[in-house]
Amino acid sequence: MVILSSCAPILQIPKLAYTNSRLFNFVTPFSTTGLPLHSYTRPKACLFVSKASGGQNLKTQNVEVEVDYDDEEDEDEIGFSARGGFRGRGEERDYDRDPEFAEILGSCLDNPEKAQSKMEERLRRKRNKILHTKTGSGLPMKVTFNKFEFSNSYIWFEFYNTPLEKDISLLCDTIRSWHIVGRLGGCNSMNMQLSQSPLDKRPSYDAIQGANVTPTTFYNIGDLEIQDNLARIWVDVGTSEPLLLDVLINALTQISSDYVGIKQVTFGGSEFENWKENLTSEDTGCFVHKI
């Protein structure tokens, strides 16, 4: 006769992966053995084997088998495992088990100065992974206007070097976002209640005033054309809204400083530098990018 019993309240025993590490403990019949339970111990499955001889003398053996769970089999798609609980996704680092960061957090209340010094030292050692070298230009971007009309004009760009594909993608995303915000009326200088309110008072917004302001919009925009280190884009802003131009200039200034150097930006004019009309071949360095 074989009697199976579980030593731990396990609702569902997964597939057991037996390793070379097994523990067999033979005790006298009907004796009990107390085992301390720790959260870090490996689960064990116990088998009580009873064997009756011809004289009906019942002998019992208590066999304890140490079990290793296969985390890869027990862990489901979102990161649950049988023994570790929620572990997060595989590609994410486990920052909860960073002893250095845990020490900094543990001392921030008792000794803030010590925690600050340790954090500064950590940033100095890992600054190469946190800070990225700027690839733009240290020279300020020049901005000029040449008979600019809000309803029908070109915006010209001159780069220090021929922009790379990633630089063109960044510029296209910036102009596209600028057009969307402007088309939705986000750049309306007639409704700047928060920016014009005093800094020493609690901000407040008058919804009725904001609803009665004359709306602004961005009517139309063309494609970004590139020839070597020159680029242009046609715009029809519609309403005369200088704030819309300020927003674009601020974004281009940051792009020129951090990513790709822009020598100058010119608003208006039908001709610019060495730009050649009716040049469409990519072999000559001419490209057109949709906005």
- pLDDT tens-place string over residues 272-283: 988 988 777 676
Q: What pLDDT is recorded for position 36?
A: 47
- Average pLDDT score, the chain: 75
Nearest CA to 61 out of 47, 80, 81 is that of: 47
- Residue 39: CB atoms within 10 Å: 5
Better pLDDT: 79 or 112: 112
pTM of the model as a whole:
0.56
Do 121 and 101 form a contact (C-beta atoms < 8 A)? no
Do 4 and 48 form a contact (C-beta atoms < 8 A)? yes
Q: What pLDDT is recorded for position 11?
A: 45
Q: Is the pLDDT of residue 101 over 80?
A: no
- Residue 255: CB atoms within 10 Å: 18
> With pLDDT > 90 as the criterion, what percentage of the chain qualifies?
41
Residue type, 130: I
Do 67 and 42 form a contact (C-beta atoms < 8 A)? yes
- Using CA atoms, how far residue 156 sits from 73, 140, 266, 272, in Å, is 59, 16, 5, 7
